[in-house]
Amino acid sequence: MVADRWFPSSKTCSRCGAAKTKLPLSMRVFECDNCGLVLNRDANAGHNLVALAARTTGTGVAGDLDLAKAKSKPRGADRKTRVTRPRRKAGTGRAGGAIPSPRAGKETGDRQQDTGAQLAL
């Protein structure tokens, strides 16, 4: 079974179900403010995951209790992480719709020297 990526297994008390808003990784002991449970953080998360698997309806994804969502969920990001710029349509880059070639107006190969300026020195 696969638990949802954002399921708060470490932040939830395995005895009373109260969830903490923040629990940094440096805190290795879970202390419940509601019922007073003190337990190793990983053991607490393990208890929560076992309880979650027991509540699963058989869809293969732990925590998927809605019968309307009986399909398996794809893994990966839920939303795009990078904003992309829209592509320009062909012919809209310049006034008049003409797009110059990449080499237009540029020298190719060696630089051309102005012989008149050299003679003046």
Residue with tokens 């297994």: 9
Residues 6+ apart with CB under 8 A from 53: 1, 3, 62
Q: What percentage of the chain carries pLDDT values higher than 90?
A: 39
- pLDDT tens-digit series, residues 57-76: 665 555 555 544 445 555 55
Residues 6+ apart with CB under 8 A from 9: 3, 44, 45, 46, 48, 49, 52
pLDDT at residue number 70: 47
Full-model pTM: 0.48
Average pLDDT, the chain: 74
77 within 8 A of 84, measured Cβ to Cβ: no
The C-alpha atoms of residue 31 and residue 50 are separated, in whole angstroms, by: 19
